[in-house]
Amino acid sequence: MSRTLLEIDGLTRRFGGLVAVDALGFTVAEHEIVGLLGPNGSGKTTVLNLLSGVLRPDAGRIAFRGHAIAGLPAHRIARLGMARTFQLVRPLASLSCHDNVRTGLAFGRRRAWGAAADAEAGRLLDRVGLGGVRGSLPGELTYIDQKRLELARALALQPDLLLLDEWLAGLNPTELDAGIELVRSLNGQGITILLVEHVMDAIRSLCHRCVVMNAGRLIAAGLPAEVLADREVVRAYLGEDDNDRGGGHA
């Protein structure tokens, strides 16, 4: 077992009366790919928002590379080496693809600028398969390519930990295979990945471990195959009255 990169403990966030994340705790080790699963509205995106600094937790601890980051502003967390994509893509609309990536390079850990940054931006766009559209505006890209662009922007931060919020959703089978390959290769390159996902094929083939949430709480953790067969997980996904059909899809 390698060193712990991310440690969450007692993480809680309320929206009015709703407890979206409820005393959640789990860890992610270096070089792992961990799947964060759960039915719709179970609080997965909220967890990522708490991690990356969009939201401030009401209670709980988040340790990332040994730093207590709960409640820190997002730019500080980003500079510590955590990057993310958004469930609904958010490209910087008036910036070209090239400039989108350059923002991550200029203000992330590398603070790269000038010719070196330009070259690196090009390399990152190539890496996600957008080599041909550097000068285009994000609005001219397909939805899938916008997702790729967002990934390249996240990679520009040179992250240790990458948070992917349903990054593989909505891809066709060929794109899905390429996407899975890309995520795997990023992991191979040393990036730890926390992945929110509904696509079961992707979870099975990518994740080393999974944690499952329901209504803000942790209900299971372990190897993907075990977790997906867990009775409580199946019940959470399929609803109380369903009989045991074995976890297979969401």
Ligand X SMILES: Nc1ncnc2c1ncn2[C@@H]1O[C@H](COP(=O)(O)OP(=O)(O)OP(=O)(O)O)[C@@H](O)[C@H]1O
81 or 224: CB nearest other proteins: 81
State the binding partner of 204 from other proteins, ligand X, Mg ion, none, CB within 5 to 8 A by kind. none
Q: Is 94 in the site for other proteins (CB under 8 A)?
A: yes
Tokens 């709960």 map to which residue? 70
Q: Please, which residue, 35 or 108, has the CB nearer to ligand X?
A: 35
11 in Cβ contact with 47 (< 8 Å): yes
Measured from the CB atom, the residue of 113 and 232 that comes closer to other proteins is 113
Binding site for ligand X (CB under 6 A): 15, 18, 20, 38, 40-46, 87
Interface with Mg ion in residues 73-132 (CB under 5 A): 87
Quick one: which segment of 1-9, 38-46, 111-119, 228-236 binds Mg ion (CB under 5 A)? Answer: 38-46
Reported in sequence order, the residue ranges of 46-170 that DSSP labels E, i.e. its strands, are 59-64, 67-68, 82-84, 161-165
- The reply on whether position 83 binds other proteins by CB under 8 A is yes
Location of structure tokens 């500080």: 76
Question: Is there binding between residue 99 and other proteins (CB under 8 A)?
Answer: yes
- Give CA–CA dist 104/131, Å, rounded: 17
Bridging pattern class, strands 67-68 and 82-84? unpaired
C-alpha dist (Å) from residue 90 to 49, 67, 165, 246: 14, 28, 12, 36
Of 131 and 170, the one with the shorter C-beta distance to Mg ion is 170
Q: Please, which residue, 64 or 237, has the CB nearer to ligand X?
A: 237
Contacted entry of Mg ion, other proteins, ligand X, none for residue 135, CB cut-off 5 to 8 Å set by kind? none
Q: Applying CB under 5 A, does 45 fall inside the site for Mg ion? A: yes
CA distance 168 to 179: 7
Main-chain phi, psi angles of 86, to 5 degrees: -110, 150
Residue 107: name its binding partner from ligand X, other proteins, Mg ion, none (Cβ under 5 to 8 Å by kind).
Answer: other proteins
- CB 54 → other proteins: shortest distance, Å? 6
Torsion of CA 24, 30, 31, 35, to 10 degrees: 0
- Which pair of structure tokens corresponds to residue 178? 């390429």
List of residues contacting Mg ion (CB under 5 A): 45, 87
